[in-house]
Amino acid sequence: MKKKKKRKIKDPLRFAVGVAFLALIVMLLVFLIAAISGCFRSKPNPSVEEPVSSVEPTLPPTPSPSPTPEPSWEEQRLADIEHYVRAYGNCPNEAAIEARMATMAIDPEAKMVAFTFDDGPRTGITNEVLDICEENGVRATFFIKGDNIASHEEELMRMLSLGCEIGNHTWEHTNIEEIPASEIREAIGSVNEAIESRFGYTIRLFRPPYIKYGDKGSETRNTLVALMEEWNMAIVNHTRSTHDTYASYTAERIYNRGVMETDELGKKLDGSIILCHDKQQKTVDAFRKIVPELLSRGYQFVTVSELLHYSKDGFHAGWIYSSAN
């Protein structure tokens, strides 16, 4: 077979110009089509609002506020004392309040003793005991009778303003072993209610008159312990008595019992609860000598509640305490 001969371009320059012209025509047509189609494209109408989604956006959960921590016993103690210092302390200015509060500091590592006074308040005698406390910056615990409250409100307010503690000694110095269990609540609760209503103060300690609170397992003991647990109270006995109610005990003998480091039973003074009564002048005279003597030995005079809270076992409702140990 004969091969086909390739067709030769007679004028290459003219052919190239023709191709270029054709390409230019095509480009112009494409540009024109694109421009025309753009004119008919819908444009957004600014007057028409975009549809709002009905689905609520998911927000991160609001974090729960951290609970306010409960104040420690020590913080609450100082707050309560300052409240009564401001309410009843007759402090003329903030400097005087700060000075009073400075006497409330406690060193848990230092020696402590809790002096207690039963059966008051008693006109004249109780205020003399409080004078000694105020002059020396010390505190004591007063187990009061309910029938003395109405006539001795000033002494009670002064106790609170000095950081002293009020304890319960029944309304009429009642031997709770001699009354039915149904009456024990009234004998103790009436004192708590009277102090709470007059001063907003909550009593935490009960000392049974004659230190009688029923034998272990008796109805009296079981009733009393149940009430103490209900009212968040403790029963307070004592480590040592000063025997200040004995007719034969002079102020000197009371003083000697109050300052001896170890008593006849081998009980140490440090951490002890000392029993006195704010009833007679000889007790005041002895206490006036006891305080500076023990302060010179490094003792802190604290309330019974303070002594118990700083003890190894701490404070427990319903317990019976004779000392901090």
Please give, one letter per residue, the 3-state secondary structure of the chain: CCCCCCCCCCCHHHHHHHHHHHHHHHHHHHHHHHHHHHHCCCCCCCCCCCCCCCCCCCCCCCCCCCCCCCCCHHHHHHHHHHHHHHHHCCCCCHHHHHHHHHCCCCCCCCEEEEEEEECCCCCCHHHHHHHHHHHHCCCCEEEECHHHCCCCHHHHHHHHHCCCEEEECCCCCCCHHHCCHHHHHHHHHHHHHHHHHHHCCCCCEECCHHHCCCCCCCHHHHHHHHHHHHHCCEEECCCEECCCCCCCCCHHHHHHHHHCCECCCCCECCCEEEEEECCCHHHHHHHHHHHHHHHHCCEEECCHHHHHHCCCCCCCCCCEECECC
Please state which of the four CATH numbers 3.20.20.370, 3.40.50.1370, 3.40.50.720, 1.40.20.10 is assigned to the domain occupying 73-321: 3.20.20.370
Tens digit of each residue's pLDDT (9 = 90 or more) over 106-161: 999 999 999 999 999 999 999 999 999 999 999 999 999 999 999 999 999 999 99
Mean pLDDT of 214-241: 97
Q: Is the pLDDT of residue 28 over 70?
A: no
Q: How confident is the model at residue 325 (pLDDT cuts 50, 70, 90)?
A: confident
Q: How confident is the model at residue 46 (pLDDT cuts 50, 70, 90)?
A: very low
Mean pLDDT of 51-69: 61
Q: Is the pLDDT of residue 8 over 60?
A: no
pLDDT, the chain, mean: 89
